[in-house]
Structure 1
Amino acid sequence: MKKYLFACLLLTTVIMVHAQDETVKQLQTDANRTITKDPNDTTVKTWKTGGVFNFNIAQGSLSNWAAGGDKFSLALNSLLSTYAFYTKGKHHWDNTLDLNLAYLNTTSQGTRKNDDRIDLVSKYAYDLAKKWDVGLLFNFRSQMLKGFDYADDNSKTLTSKFLSPAYVLLSPGVTYKPVPEFSIFLSPVTTRWTVVMDDSLSARGAYGVDSSKHIKTEFGAFATVNFFKEFSKTISFKSRADLYSNYLHNPQNIDVYWTNLLTMKLGRVFAITYALDLIYDDDVRLFGPNGDAARPQIRSMLGIGLSYRFSNIKK
C-alpha cells in the first residue's frame, strides 16, 4: 500500500512541478520574425539569438495524515533553452542548446534526479531551391550529473554521468521542406560516436561500447523529421523524430529518439505543457532479468510553470 501511496504522491508532484519548455512555440515564432533595427544602425544584423529559462519548485508535507504518504516532498525543475540563427543570402547556420535538470526529494526515497539532459544541435545549410537545401548537421547529447538505478532496498548502481554516455553525430545530407511546418533531413552517410568515459561503466561494456573501451564508432544512415504547428495564439505542437541505422551491426534495429511537446499559454508568464518522449537504442541493454535487454524508454510529463524569455528581436 505504501508503494501505491508514494506513487500517487510522486505523480501529483511531477504534474504540478515539471514544466517543460515553452521554447518550442516562442523560438519558432522568433526565428520567422523580421528583425527590427534602429534606423541609425548601419550594421547588417544576420544573427537572431534568444531563449527561455524556466524554474519551478514545489513542496509538500503531511502530519498525522490518515491516507498515508511521505511526510515531506520537494521537487525542483530547471530548464535553459537557447538558440542562435545565422542567415546571409543562401547560407544558414542554426544552433540550439537545451539544458534540463530536475531533482525530487521525499522522506522515504531521499533525493533522486528525475531529469538531466544536454542536447546541442548545429546545422549549416546552403539553399539549392525553394524547398531544398544541402548541409552538415552536428548533434551532441549527454547529461550533466551522475544517474543511478535504485533497487528495492534503496541500494544504487551507477548508470550514467557526464560523457558516460555521450552521443556525437556528424551527418551531411539534404533537407526537404515542402511547407513551413514540416521538414525532413536525410543522410545515407552518417558517423556516430558513443562515448563512455567512466571506467566502471566501460568495463561493463555499457551502451554498446566494447568492454574497457571508451568510444564506439558507428557508420550508417540518419534521418530527422520535424513538425511544428501553431493552432492558435495559445496552443502549439512540436514533434521531432531522429532515426539511425548502423550499417556495421544489426542495421535492421533502428535507433529512435522521438520527442513531442504540446504547449498551451496562460497569460504572459504561465504555460501548461504535455511532453511525451520515446527512446529506443538497441545498444542500451539495461533491462531484463539480467540487465541484458533493450527496451523502449518512455517518459510522459504534464506540467505548469513560470518562464522568462529573452531575445535580440524587437517585437
Structure 2
Amino acid sequence: MKRFLFAGLLLAAGLAGQAQDTTVKKLQTDATYTFKKDPNDTLSKTWKTGGVFNFNIAQGSLSNWAAGGDKFSLALNSLLSTYAFYEDGRRHWDNTLDLNLGYINTTSQGTRKNDDRIDLVTKYAYDISKKWDVGVLANFRSQMLNGYDYTDSSRTLTSKFFSPAYGLISPGLTYKPDKSFSIFLSPVTVRGTIVMDDSLAAKGAYGVDSGSHYKTEFGAFATVRFFKEFSKTISFKSRADFYSNYLHNPQNIDVYWTNLLAIKLGKGFALTYALDLIYDDDVRLFGPHSDAPRAQIRSMLGIGLSYSFSNR
C-alpha cells in the first residue's frame, strides 16, 4: 500500500512540474510576442498638432566704458508658434497661432515693450484637384499689452489689447503646387478694424472715424505662404498678405509680411532671425511722422532656448 501511495505522489509531482514548465514557456512566448498591424486597418490620425517655443535672453553691462552707452541692458523675447491640422479625405481644416512677446530694460530708458503680437489664421477648404482647393479663410490679429510712443519727458499710449484688432473673413481659391508653397486668392473679402480704447478711438487711430470703435472694409485679399526645411537644422517660414479696399483708394494696397529663419544649434538651442514689414494706408504713425502712412519694419535676431513638440 505504501508503495502505491509513494508512486502516486511521484506521478502527481511530475504532472505538476510539467504543467508549471508549460505555463512558464507560455509566459515567455507572450512577453516576446510582436503585435502586427492588421493590413486592413487603414485608420490614420485626422488631427496633427504641434509647434515650437523659443525664448531668447541678452544682457550687457558697462563700467567706465570710454565709448559710452547704457550701464546695464537686458532683453527678453519669446515666441510660441503652434498649429493644428485636420484632414479627412478631401476636406481639411488648417489652424495656426503665433504669439510674440518681448521686453527690453536699459539704464537710460527703463523697461519698454519691443515685441507683442497675436496672429491667428484658420482655413477650412475642400480639394477640387491635386493643386487647387476652395474654402474660407479667417484671420485675427492684435496685441496683448499696452504699447507707448516715447519722448524724452513723456509717453503716449499707442496700442493695447483689441486696440487695434483686425479681423478678416475671405472665401477663395488656393493654388498649392507643392507642400512648401501656396497662394490664396479672394475677390470678395470683409475686413474689420476694432479700436476699443476710448482715447485712441477719439483720435481716429488706425483708420476708424473719430469717436468710433469699429470700421468695416470690403475688398480683395491674397496671401502667399512659404515654408521650407532646408536641412534638419535650418528652416525658413514666410507669409505675405495683400489687401485692397474697393471703397477707398483701392490702388493703395495694404501689406503684412512676416519672415522667420531658424537655425538649430544643438539640442534645445537655436538662432532665430525675424523680419516683419507692415504697410497700412489707413494707419498714421504717432510722433513726428503722423501726417502720412509709413512702412513699419521690425527686425529681431536672437539666440536662446528652443523646444519643439508634436503628436506625430
TM-score (normalizing by structure 2): 0.84
Alpha-carbon distance between aligned partners in 1 of 2:287 and 2:108, rounded to the nearest angstrom: 26
Residues 233 and 264 in structure 2, CA contact (< 8 A), matched pair in contact too: yes
C-alpha displacement at 1:43, in angstroms?
A: 7.1
Superposed CA deviations along residues 158-200 of structure 1, whole A, max 9, x for unmatched, are 0000000000000000100112221100000000000000000
1:208 maps to amino acid: G
Report whether the alignment pairs 1:78 with 2:78: yes
Rg comparison, structure with higher value: 2
Mapping for residues 1-315 of structure 1, pairs under 5 Å: 44-151=44-151, 153-286=152-285, 289=288, 291-313=290-312
Give percent identity, aligned residues only: 82
The alpha-carbon distance between structure 1 residues 51 and 237, as it changes in their structure 2 partners (threshold 3 A), is closer
Alpha-carbon distance between aligned partners in 1 of 2:60 and 2:118, rounded to the nearest angstrom: 29
Q: How many residues align?
A: 275
C-alpha displacement at 1:234, in angstroms?
A: 2.2
Alpha-carbon distance between aligned partners in 1 of 2:103 and 2:302, rounded to the nearest angstrom: 15
Alpha-carbon distance between aligned partners in 2 of 1:235 and 1:52, rounded to the nearest angstrom: 14
Alpha-carbon distance between aligned partners in 1 of 2:236 and 2:58, rounded to the nearest angstrom: 26
For the aligned residues, what is the CA RMSD?
1.9
C-alpha displacement at 1:80, in angstroms?
A: 1.6
Moved over 6 A (4+): 40-43
2:284 maps to amino acid: R
2:199 is paired with a residue whose SS is helix
Alpha-carbon distance between aligned partners in 1 of 2:171 and 2:98, rounded to the nearest angstrom: 22
Superposed CA deviations along residues 258-278 of structure 1, whole A, max 9, x for unmatched, are 112222221222222222211
Q: Who is 1:15 aligned against?
A: none
1:92 maps to amino acid: H
1:207 is paired with a residue whose SS is helix
Residues 280 and 295 in structure 1, CA contact (< 8 A), matched pair in contact too: yes
Unmatched tracts of structure 1, length 5 or more: 1-37
Residues 191 and 217 in structure 2, CA contact (< 8 A), matched pair in contact too: yes
2:212 maps to amino acid: K
C-alpha displacement at 1:233, in angstroms?
A: 2.5
Alpha-carbon distance between aligned partners in 1 of 2:90 and 2:243, rounded to the nearest angstrom: 28
The alpha-carbon distance between structure 1 residues 80 and 238, as it changes in their structure 2 partners (threshold 3 A), is closer
The alpha-carbon distance between structure 1 residues 136 and 269, as it changes in their structure 2 partners (threshold 3 A), is same
C-alpha displacement at 1:71, in angstroms?
A: 1.5
Residues 119 and 140 in structure 1, CA contact (< 8 A), matched pair in contact too: yes
Unmatched tracts of structure 2, length 5 or more: 1-35
1:201 is paired with a residue whose SS is helix
Residues 287 and 295 in structure 1, CA contact (< 8 A), matched pair in contact too: no
Alpha-carbon distance between aligned partners in 2 of 1:96 and 1:246, rounded to the nearest angstrom: 25
Alpha-carbon distance between aligned partners in 2 of 1:184 and 1:104, rounded to the nearest angstrom: 36
Higher RCO (CA < 8 A, seq sep 6+): 1
Residues 109 and 154 in structure 1, CA contact (< 8 A), matched pair in contact too: no
Worse overlay, 128-137 or 76-85: 76-85
Alpha-carbon distance between aligned partners in 1 of 2:55 and 2:275, rounded to the nearest angstrom: 20
Alpha-carbon distance between aligned partners in 2 of 1:263 and 1:307, rounded to the nearest angstrom: 10
Residues 56 and 302 in structure 2, CA contact (< 8 A), matched pair in contact too: no
Alpha-carbon distance between aligned partners in 2 of 1:273 and 1:105, rounded to the nearest angstrom: 21
TM-score (normalizing by structure 1): 0.83
Residues 57 and 303 in structure 2, CA contact (< 8 A), matched pair in contact too: no
Alpha-carbon distance between aligned partners in 1 of 2:149 and 2:188, rounded to the nearest angstrom: 35
Alpha-carbon distance between aligned partners in 2 of 1:290 and 1:276, rounded to the nearest angstrom: 22
Residues 287 and 294 in structure 1, CA contact (< 8 A), matched pair in contact too: no
1:274 is paired with a residue whose SS is strand
